[in-house]
């Protein structure tokens, strides 16, 4: 199953909600510091409810530390960005993908976007809406990958 990576997340309930989605799908969650909260934050814990024991979560001190580990394990970086090149449901997800999501206020930094193997966007017909909530975006990407990799097209 692809892994979810949050790059510099800022809002504890978003990260908690994403952790809950990861628990539901058995997906690894990787958090890259700096975080906009402490990992013990009660809002983070509350959003994840009592599912934290079911989340395989790893905190990385910086992008470089994460990147080194990810390269050793293999897999593509699929960056979710407002100006991505491929509609997220047209991406052909692979079991070893790393699904990258940037911070709520600034998205994926340019230097990290530059190393993504693929960039995905979530279409929004309302041009005046710039983006969706981070936890919604992560759930959409994760569950589309899950759908493609778990269910046949005939189901």
Question: Can you tell me whether residue 41 is helix, strand or coil?
Answer: coil
CATH classification at residue 129: 3.40.1280.10
- Token reading at 130: 């710039």
Q: Does residue 55 lie in a domain region?
A: yes
Annotated binding residue at 105? Answer: no
- 72-105 per-position pLDDT tens digit: 999 999 999 999 999 999 999 999 999 999 999 9
Q: pTM higher than 0.85, yes or no? A: yes
Q: Is 11 annotated as a binding residue?
A: no
CB contact at 8 A, 82 and 117: no
What's the pLDDT band for 40 if we cut at 50, 70, 90?
Answer: confident
Name the residue range of residue 71's domain: 3-150
Q: Which two tokens stand for residue 66?
A: 């994460």
Confirm or deny that 122 is annotated as ligand binding: yes
């Amino acid at each position: 199953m692809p892994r979810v990576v949050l790059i510099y997340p800022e809002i504890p309930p978003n990260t908690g909600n994403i952790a809950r989605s990861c628990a539901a799908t058995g997906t690894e969650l990787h958090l890259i510091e700096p975080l906009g909260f402490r990992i013990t934050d009660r809002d983070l814990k509350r959003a994840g409810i009592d599912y934290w024991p079911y989340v395989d979560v790893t905190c990385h001190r910086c992008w470089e530390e994460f990147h080194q580990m990810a390269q050793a394990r293999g897999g593509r970086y699929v960056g979710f960005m407002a100006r991505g090149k491929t509609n997220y449901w047209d991406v052909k997800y692979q079991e070893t993908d790393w699904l990258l999501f940037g911070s709520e206020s600034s998205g994926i930094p340019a230097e990290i976007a530059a190393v993504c193997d693929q960039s995905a966007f979530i279409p929004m017909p309302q041009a005046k809406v710039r983006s969706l909530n981070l936890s919604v975006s992560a759930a959409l990407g994760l569950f589309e990958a899950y759908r493609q990799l778990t269910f046949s097209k005939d189901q």
